[in-house]
Amino acid sequence: MITVNNLPDLRQQIADWKQQGLRVAFVPTMGNLHDGHLSLLERGRQLCDRTVVSIFVNPIQFGKGEDYEKYPSTLEADRQKLESCGLDLLFTPNLKELYPGGMDVDTRVNVPELSTILCGKFRPDHFSGVATVVTKLLINVTANVALFGEKDFQQLLIIRRLVSELCIPTDIIGMPIIRETDGLAMSSRNAYLTATQRQLAPEIYRTLQKAAEKIQNQSNADFASIEIECMQKLELAGFRPEYVSVRRTSDLGAPGTNDRELSILVAAWLGTARLIDNIKVVTH
């Protein structure tokens, strides 16, 4: 496994591979890797000849008072996991590499409308920070494909849109949520949960499953009532929910009567951990 920490070396290695006619897959991460991340790498290895993973905790996607300073850093353990999975190149840049103009004045990428709903309503600058760093990484890695998990479904749609509208020649592949045996979506932030909270956390997924069943079993289901009921269930269980929302899967717009492919999305706090999840529903 090659490890590089600067853009010139990254570009040179990938140019060498491209010159040999090799296809490249890319998985951007913030580290503290779990099986969800590794499933992206595994799929990348199936699709391409060479794989690249980046580890970079991106400060501009964290809002004031969020967990940037305490976000878990496990670089050495991450290296061992990646090497054992057959990774070809690990990119570990520093701030100066990705923000040469300085974080306060550096250019920003913004995806309108989609970035201001759901999580964007509660984290106003978050998706601009994500879009900016992902754009920088995609431009430099020049991968044939890049893989992202569907747990961050709103993020996935934002990245697909920016790639399309900025004409970046990388195919974006969404990968299914990887869950613990009790249904909790894998996340680096699950490490913030106490033992008691960890036992409670799967209630998010159970609530989504019950909501999905209601939508599938009812013709003309009342989405607003289902959302309110889910919020109340989570509050009673000890969560502080930000939203539960039924949306059209294709663009996260409000579903119309003829929309059949829907997603139910949730964000809720449990102690100091902000947990997100979603589930897809296909109606008849």
- Domains of the chain: total: 2
Residue 181 located in a structural domain: no
Residues 229 and 157 in one domain: no
pTM for this entry: 0.96
The span from the CA of 100 to the CA of 129, in Å, is: 15
Residues 192 and 160 in one domain: no
pLDDT confidence of residue 162: 98
Q: Which two tokens stand for residue 189?
A: 């932030």
Residues 151 and 195 in one domain: no
Indicate the residue among 175, 208, 225 that finishes a domain. 175
Q: Which two tokens stand for residue 29?
A: 């991460």
- Amino acid at residue number 66: E
Residues 192 and 152 in one domain: no
The CATH number linked to 94 is: 3.40.50.620
Q: Is 149:120 a contact under the CB 8 Å cutoff?
A: no
The span from the CA of 221 to the CA of 69, in Å, is: 43
Q: Which of 34, 37, 126, 284 is catalytic?
A: 37
Q: Which two tokens stand for residue 205?
A: 């997924």
Write 103-112 long-range contacts (CB < 8 A, 24+): 103/59, 103/60, 106/60, 106/132, 107/132, 108/60, 108/132, 109/135, 109/162, 109/166, 111/158, 111/161, 111/162, 111/165
Q: What is the pLDDT along the chain (284 residues), one digit of tens a residue?
A: 999 999 999 999 999 999 999 999 999 999 999 999 999 999 999 999 999 999 999 999 999 889 888 898 899 999 999 999 999 999 999 999 999 999 888 999 999 999 999 999 999 999 999 999 999 999 999 999 999 999 999 999 999 999 999 999 999 999 999 999 999 999 999 999 999 999 999 999 999 999 999 999 888 889 999 999 999 999 999 999 999 999 999 999 999 888 999 999 999 999 999 999 999 999 97
pLDDT digits (tens, 9 = 90+) for 79-122: 999 999 999 999 999 999 999 999 888 999 999 999 999 999 99
pLDDT confidence of residue 127: 98
pLDDT confidence of residue 215: 95
pLDDT confidence of residue 84: 97
Residue 259 located in a structural domain: yes
Strand 261-270 and strand 240-248: the pairing is antiparallel
Which residues are paired to 148 by β-bridges? 174
Residue 101 located in a structural domain: yes
Q: Is 200:270 a contact under the CB 8 Å cutoff?
A: yes
pLDDT digits (tens, 9 = 90+) for 14-47: 999 999 999 999 999 999 999 999 999 999 999 9
pLDDT confidence of residue 269: 98
Q: Which two tokens stand for residue 133?
A: 């760093």
Indicate the residue among 175, 199, 214 that finishes a domain. 175
Q: Helices 203-217 & 223-237, crossing angle to 10 degrees?
A: 160
Residue 182 located in a structural domain: no
Residues 153 and 194 in one domain: no
Residues 243 and 171 in one domain: no
Residues 133 and 248 in one domain: no
Residues 6+ apart with CB under 8 A from 133: 28, 56, 58, 60, 61, 98
Indicate the residue among 150, 175, 200 that finishes a domain. 175
Residues 218 and 155 in one domain: no
Q: Is 93 helix (H, G, I), strand (E, B) or coil?
A: coil
Domain extent, residue 165, equals 2-175
Residue 202 located in a structural domain: yes
- Is residue 284 annotated as a catalytic residue, yes or no? no
